[in-house]
Amino acid sequence: MGPSFLIDKLLEVTGSPRLGAKIKYVFVRSRSEDESLGSFMRTLCSGLRVSLSNKRRLMAELEALGESKGVAKCLEHMRVIVGRDAVTLGELEALLARAQVGAGLKTGFLADMEVEE
């Protein structure tokens, strides 16, 4: 039961000869939105990786300064921030992977629709 079967059944119900074109338009637009979201998320992940790297470098410099009272407190705050940012980066990368899978599925659906035409 492929996409063309579903389109044929919908055509029977609605009687609209343009239904296939409308469905294809929706898939193309949805895929385009997924690709835009993926591009934005890749940029966001890249920026967060750079920021995380800079924070880790700063932590290493703070650790090298030794155990003065002000440095210890700053270092502890930096550890919390870096830990939180690392979790956020992992979640963003998982969302990016899901968006890429969704865009790939829609590309496959469109290819199936074009083959059936």
Query: Is 43 exposed, middle or buried, given 0-12, 13-18 or 19+ CB atoms closer than 10 A?
Result: exposed
**Based on the number of CB atoms within 10 Å of its own CB, is 16 exposed (0-12), middle (13-18) or buried (19 or more)?**
exposed
Question: In the prediction, which pLDDT does 15 show?
Answer: 66
CA dist 30 and 2 (Å) reads 19
| pLDDT score of 13 | 64
What amino acid occupies position 41?
A: M
Q: According to the model, what pLDDT value does residue 115 have?
A: 72
The pLDDT assigned to 88 comes to: 95
Query: Domains (ranges, CATH) in the chain?
Result: 3-116 (1.10.287)
Structure tokens, 113 = 């629709």
- Residue-level pLDDT, tens digit, the chain, 117 residues: 555 666 666 666 666 667 777 777 887 888 888 888 889 999 999 999 999 999 999 989 888 877 777 788 888 899 999 999 999 999 999 999 988 888 888 888 878 777 766
User: What's the confidence (pLDDT) of residue 94?
Assistant: 94
